Amino acid sequence: MSQDGTSQFQEVILYQKILQKYNHCCVKIYTFNQRRYLRINKESLLPVAQDVSYLGENTEAWYPPGHGDIYASFYNSGLLDTFIGEGKEYSFVSNIDNLGVTVDLYILNHLMNPPNGKCCEFVMEVTNKTRADVKGKTLTQYEGKLRLVEIAQVPKAHVDEFKSVSKFKIFNINHLWISPAAIKRLQEQNAIDMEIMVNAKTLDGGLIVIQLETAVGAAIESFENSLGINVPRSHFLLVKTTSDLLLVMSNLYSLNAGSLTMSKKWAFPTVPLVKLGSSFTKVQDYLRRFESIPDILELDHLTVSGDVTFGKNV
């Protein structure tokens, strides 16, 4: 699901075109829309649609309320009941920008054959933190329930402690195994509890708006027998920036049977830390600055700033 309201509708059209390529496959692909909410003017605390310049279907007046909206949208679409009726016992949820997504059959076997006989309604995959993940959401236990904690919830006096890789060693990669029957039960009881995050954004023209959003993993405390499972780092390959894209396009990875696998020549447990400057922010600028993607199999850390280009065979 899109997190950027201004490009949400363009992305839907793009995804539809991509899905058309798989019409010949024997796997049925279902889609559903998440809900949209009105952005709030930070000054007046009124919907920006009150402003004449944002009337009608102007996409800047609307935003998707975060991926925590999946529960209500899944339920309202009717697909949840369809899957329950077909006997499906678990739904696997992941972010579209994580290219390391893997359906781990060991986890599925654990869910279907729990060693203690207690069925888990919610499983969250986590992995070990690196220097690049110090702000990642982590799991804590409070009053007998697992809870997801993010940096925005941490008092300033404890932020450095939260970022400590030695104290908080794991973070949520948003690979979730959730019982559809449990989602249905909690939706009908209005019992899915997720903390609302206030996200401020500046629109074109300088208008500052407020978006109220929720995160899908924050619902972990609402489910019974929730569990966090530490998985290999290979399950997490997020591409949000061109710095991430450089790693994926490099000889550090290869594409095998639809999955990105790390080179056997890479001898370290974590990936290199790459920080490309503002000249590389846009994909078209990034591609123009590399005649070929550098060999990074010996790389530890790369920071690039300024008007830099790379030649061939670096």
Tell me which residues are annotated as active site: 240
Nearest in space to 219 (alpha carbons), one of 265, 177, 163:
177
Closest among 286, 276, 275, 303 to 132, alpha carbons compared: 275
- Angle (nearest 5°) at CA 104 between 164 and 239: 55
The answer to whether residues 84 and 183 touch, using CB atoms and an 8 Å cutoff, is no
Task: For residue 148, give the nearest of 93, 217, 102 by alpha carbon.
Answer: 217
How many residues does this entry show for the chain?
314
Angle at 238 between CA 232 and CA 241, to 5 degrees: 150
Q: Is 174 left (phi over 0), alpha (psi -120 to 50) or beta?
A: left
Other CB atoms within 10 A of residue 177 CB = 23
Report d(CA 298, CA 304) in Å as an integer. Answer: 17
